[in-house]
Amino acid sequence: MTQLEKKVIALLKDDARRSYSEIATLLGVEENQIKTIVTDLEKQGIIVKYSAIINTEKTGEDYVDALIEVKCTPQARSGFDAIAKEIYKFPEVKSVYLMSGTYDLCIQLESKTVRDVSLFVSERLSTIDSVTGTATHFIMKQYKEGGVVLNDETDRRSDGNT
């Protein structure tokens, strides 16, 4: 990837709603060039999707985020991939990662209630044959999400005399 492509990606990761013209201004290049780069990155599947970061505390809606550690027995030919696939097909699963260390898969789950989470674990996860164990962690508070500190720190600078 070129230096410029990397910079474009960094700017979009920071704020996906930046226009081509704004990105062009920030990087000091022509707008058309940015348009070509972004379209290309989308086509290649490098930019997969643009989404919003939500401060769930402020939405006033019930919302539970959980991280679930999963231990499983890899299958003969497909290793962990087939198990991951079985798990990620559920819409409430936000992300699935294969991990190094003491467990195998890490699932990030987005549900309405604690009960939803327990149902997911007891009825969906544990019933998958190769799953040998799970540990569920509820997320209690969001401090930083997608690189953004949610309750912004105050500016400590003193408006001195410089």
Partner 1 sequence: MDYTKYLNKTALGIKPSGIRKFFDLASERKDIISLGVGEPDFDTPWVARDNAIKIIKKGYTQYTGNAGLPKLRELICKYYLDRYGVKYSPNECLVTVGASEAIDITLRAIVNPGEEVLVPEPSYVSYCPCVQLAGGIPVAVPCYAKDNFSLTADTLKKYITDKTKAIILPYPNNPTGAIMEEDGLKEIAKVIIEKDILVISDEIYSELTYNEKGHVSIASISGMQERTIVINGFSKAFSMTGWRLGYLLAPLEIFEVIKKIHQYGIICAPTISQYAGISMLEESFSDDFNSVNEMKSEYDMRRRYCVSRLNKMGLTCFEPKGAFYVFPSVEKLNMSSDEFATTLLEEKGVAVVPGSAFVNGDCSFIRISYAYSLKQLEKALDIIEEFVKEKTK
List residues binding partner 1 (CB under 8 A): 14-15, 22, 25-28, 155, 157, 159-162
Phi and psi angles of residue 143, each rounded to the nearest 5 degrees, phi first: -105, -45
Query: What element of type H or E holds 21?
Result: helix 20-27
Cα(114)–Cα(136) distance, integer angstroms: 11
Name the minimum Å distance from CB 11 to partner 1: 8
Task: Write down the least CB distance from residue 40 to partner 1, Å.
Answer: 22
Q: Toward partner 1, which CB reaches closer, 91 or 160?
A: 160
Smallest separation (angstroms) from partner 1 to the CB of 142: 19
Distance CA 149, CA 153 (A): 8
Q: Which is nearer to partner 1, 101 or 147 (CB)?
A: 147
Compare residues 140 and 149 and give the one whose CB is closer to partner 1: 149
Q: How far is CA 116 from CA 17, 65, 79, 93, 139, in A?
A: 33, 11, 29, 12, 14
- Closest to partner 1 by CB, 123 vs 159, is 159
Please, what is the minimum distance in Å from the beta carbon of residue 115 to partner 1? 38
- Rounded to an integer, what distance in angstroms lies between the CA atom of residue 13 and that of residue 78? 33
